[in-house]
A = this chain, B = another copy of it.
Amino acid sequence: MHNAFTPHTSGDLNYLKSLNRSTILSTVRRSPGLSRADIALRTGLTKATVGSVVQALVERGWLREGELHSRGGGRPGRALYLDGERHYMLGAEVGVKGLRLVACNLLGVVLASIHQEEPPTDPATTAKRLAALLVQLRQAPGIADRRCLGLGVAVPGPVSPKAPILSLAPNLGWVDIDFLALLREQPDLPDGVWLLDNEANAAAFGEFYFFEGVPPESIAYISAGSGIGCGVVSGEHFPLVPRGHQGLVGEIGHTVIQPGGALCHCGNHGCAETLVSGWALREALHVDIDASLSHAVLTRAEDGEVQAVMKRAGEALGLLMLNLHHTLNPSMLILGGSLMKLGESLTGPALAYFGTHQNDLLRQSQTVPVKVIGDSTYVAARGAAAQVMARAAIEV
């Protein structure tokens, strides 16, 4: 059971308890500072139930009591917050360009991180390398005395929905890798929940789970890097990431948006990745594989050819966003991935295209909010950690 939320089908009393515990936790996560009475009101649970569950969660270090807030007459309620002091989750991303690791607390705050810019080689060696870094990370100040809830790993390719196995990582040349099994062979790693997920899914989950501000109803996170993928999340108390039959949900890089267009490495013509992706841009701009794409683009920003290429890529991204809106209809779009370092030159045309071509299917013409994450170095790693927390909250 590798997903954060594989919905239970049948239930005993234990299940009911964990359901309510998770609900209460997520209510506090989404609205910090609520009192027990507020929670009871919002969830429909009784004061007694909320009281006993909260008590257990405070004792176990998931929740902490805060200040009193009096609202008019009556006894003031005691504010409740997620306790950021007693637990942490490990999250790691095995990226095409290197390894990223974070340890973060229940609030999503990154307590420590490691970023090692060196491409993975084979799976076993990479597992060994990652394990060593994890051990190092766990020794960071202020972490050692906390309890570890588990480890989430994000990988650059589809993960089978049936088992935590990386089906394919085209940019690493890996096929059907049981990466967690390789990790388990390494010494000194923590117990707890272990999860494996696709990079875009993990990132999407994290951005949804730890969203700052009014939580959106659902999001689609577009990860534009070497390739282009997308993760979708929705669900108030139990955020769900649809994965599909083979874990291909959101593989929008290979949706065809220009029939008869350029040849993609997948064999088809006119895939989105032929227009907007790291390798497509490198090719179009004659940037070497080792050179920095963003450096090249930003220094040659005035160059007419560069502008044309970026406009074309940006508009392709905008078109992808539109198609996504009409297929998955999230309430918010988030743009991330290494390509976002290219800044306005890419996001400008994308947002312009998306804004001007949003059709008036529904009169209300609500524009879909778009959030751009400029530096998404640790987004996927933190998202993997978020999935660990969500899963651990069910078990406690």
Q: Is A156 part of the contact surface with B, judged by Cβ < 8 Å?
A: no
Stretch at the interface among A79-87, A145-153, A187-195, A248-256: A248-256
The chain B residue sitting closest to A23, CB to CB, is B10
Q: Is A217 part of the contact surface with B, judged by Cβ < 8 Å?
A: yes
Interface residues of A in 227-255 (CB under 8 A from B): 230, 234-238, 242-252, 254-255
Q: Is A309 part of the contact surface with B, judged by Cβ < 8 Å?
A: no
Query: Is there an interface contact between B361 and A326, defined as CB atoms closer than 8 Å?
Result: no
Taking the nearest CB of chain B, how far is it from the CB of A293, in angstroms? 24
Residues of B within 8 A of A299 (CB): none
Q: Is A357 part of the contact surface with B, judged by Cβ < 8 Å?
A: yes
Q: Is A175 part of the contact surface with B, judged by Cβ < 8 Å?
A: yes
- Residue from B19, B158, B235, B246 within 8 A of A366 (CB atoms): B246
Known contacts A175-B363, A256-B323, A330 near B13 by CB under 8 Å: no
The secondary structure that dominates the A interface is loop
Residues of B within 8 A of A7 (CB): 235, 238
| 26 A–B contacts, CB within 8 A, in A order | A7-B235, A10-B43, A11-B19, A11-B20, A12-B16, A16-B16, A167-B362, A175-B363, A217-B245, A218-B244, A218-B245, A242-B328, A244-B328, A244-B329, A244-B330, A245-B368, A246-B366, A248-B361, A250-B327, A251-B326, A256-B257, A256-B319, A256-B322, A258-B259, A264-B359, A268-B359
Q: Is A9 part of the contact surface with B, judged by Cβ < 8 Å?
A: yes
Taking the nearest CB of chain B, how far is it from the CB of A392, in angstroms? 19
Residues of B within 8 A of A324 (CB): 327
Q: Is A168 part of the contact surface with B, judged by Cβ < 8 Å?
A: yes
Copies in the complex: 2
Interface residues of A in 43-84 (CB under 8 A from B): 43-45
Q: Is A376 part of the contact surface with B, judged by Cβ < 8 Å?
A: no
Q: Is A141 part of the contact surface with B, judged by Cβ < 8 Å?
A: no
Taking the nearest CB of chain B, how far is it from the CB of A279, in angstroms? 16
Residues of B within 8 A of A251 (CB): 326-327, 329, 361
Contact bitstring A364-390, B, C-beta under 8 A = 1, else 0: 001010000000000000000000000
Taking the nearest CB of chain B, how far is it from the CB of A55, in angstroms? 17
Known contacts A11-B20, A327-B255, A357 near B244 by CB under 8 Å: no
